[in-house]
Each structure stands twice: as structure tokens, then as C-alpha cells.
Amino acid sequence: MFPIIIFIILFLILLYLYYYVKIESFDSSDTETTNAKTTIPQTTIPTLTMSSQIMLGISTTLGISQRRISNLSYIGDVSTGTLSVSFTILEPNIIEFSKKEPNASDAAKMANNLFTDSLFVVNINDKNINLNKINQSSVNNINNNVFDNTGLKDIANYANNKYISVPNESSLTNFYKLDFDKNFNIIPTISA
């Protein structure tokens, strides 16, 4: 009985010392930071992606919500001050309709008028960028020239034919697994 009481007392003393050290170290770190030179915390604003900034600029210019802009594609460089864009405008939902947002056809007419007058200007990375409409025939030509690679199609067909023609051999699908021997040592064995 006596050793159990001594063990409990020692355990409580060690527990008390542990918490005392933790509290002291916590208090000393607070005093060090208050005595240290006071600095102003810097806040960082997350930067938006280029497509998010373009969608935000288009929605602000047209007076519609950003959700309604879909299928956005753009070509160009911001440093030149102009971008060519293509997008579709969705119909407003009940909340947007109650906020008196224009319907899709009116917003599209407004966008086309801004495109023809070269007045479609959005702010991207604190620069005013003039937006132009993408010429769909040039986009089709670019897609056909760049992505119509017959050599890659031939390689893909060759790989598919070779993959189909390889026989399925059962010995190639056997894998190692870990088992125990009679002395309970772990040994790798081939699974059937």
C-alpha cells in the first residue's frame, strides 16, 4: 500500500511540474512579444485568375451577375491593352430578375454595341483593357492547325492495336504478398 501512495504522490508532483513549465513558457513568450518591436500586420489580398478578372469586368460593365457569364474564352496579352473574348450570357434566375438585371438577349445586344463602338473596357491587374470580339473563323483555323496532328493519331492507333494484340498471360499478373513462416517471420511469397 505504501509504494502505491508514493507512486501517486510522485506522479502528481511530476504532473504539477509539467503544467507549471508549460504555463511559464506560455507567459514568457507573451512578455517577449509585448517587449518586442511592434509591427503592423500585412494583409494579403488573394489575386484572382485572369479569367475571373475578365468575368468580373464583363459582369460589372454589363450590369449582370458574374454567374451568368459562361463559356469564356480569350486570346491576347494584357500588356498590349487589348484582349479578344468570346462568352455566352445565361438567363437571370429569380434573385437576379428581382434585382432588375437585363435578360440574356438585352445583355447580349448591349455587349455587341460595346464591341462595335470599341467601348468595352474592363480593369485587369489595375490596367484598363479594351475587349474585342473573337473572330470565330480565326479560332477554327487555329484549332485545326494546332490540334489536328495526324502523326499523334497514328501513334495512338498503333498503341491501341498493340495493347489489344498482347496475350493475357496469368504469370504476368502474379504479385508478391507478405506471409508468415513457421517461426512467424515475414517472408514475401508470390500469390497465385
Distance CA 13, CA 20 (A): 10
Q: Encode 28-50: b = buried (16+ Cβ within 10 Å), e = exposed.
A: eeeeeeeeeeeeeeeeeeeeeee
Can you give the pLDDT at residue 58? 92
Can you give the pLDDT at residue 41? 55
Identify any residues that bridge with 77 across adjacent strands, giving them in sequence order: 82
- The per-residue pLDDT string of the chain (192 residues; one tens digit each, 9 = 90 and over) reads 788 899 899 899 988 888 777 776 655 554 444 554 555 555 555 567 888 889 999 999 999 999 999 888 888 888 888 989 999 999 999 998 899 999 999 999 999 999 999 889 998 888 899 999 987 655 555 445 555 667 777 777 777 776 665 566 666 667 778 888 888 888 888 876
Sheet holding 121-124, edge to edge: 69-77, 82-89, 127-133, 121-124
Can you give the pLDDT at residue 48? 73
Distance CA 35, CA 29 (A): 10
Helices 50-62 and 104-116 sit at what angle, rounded to 10 degrees? 100
Can you give the pLDDT at residue 191? 75
User: Please, is 167 exposed, middle or buried when counting C-beta atoms within 10 Å of its C-beta (0-12, 13-18, 19+)?
Assistant: exposed
Indicate yes or no: pTM above 0.85.
no
CB atoms under 10 Å from CB of 75, counted, come to 14
Q: Where are the domains of the chain?
A: 1-37, 50-138
Q: Which helix or strand (DSSP H or E) is residue 146 part of?
A: helix 136-147
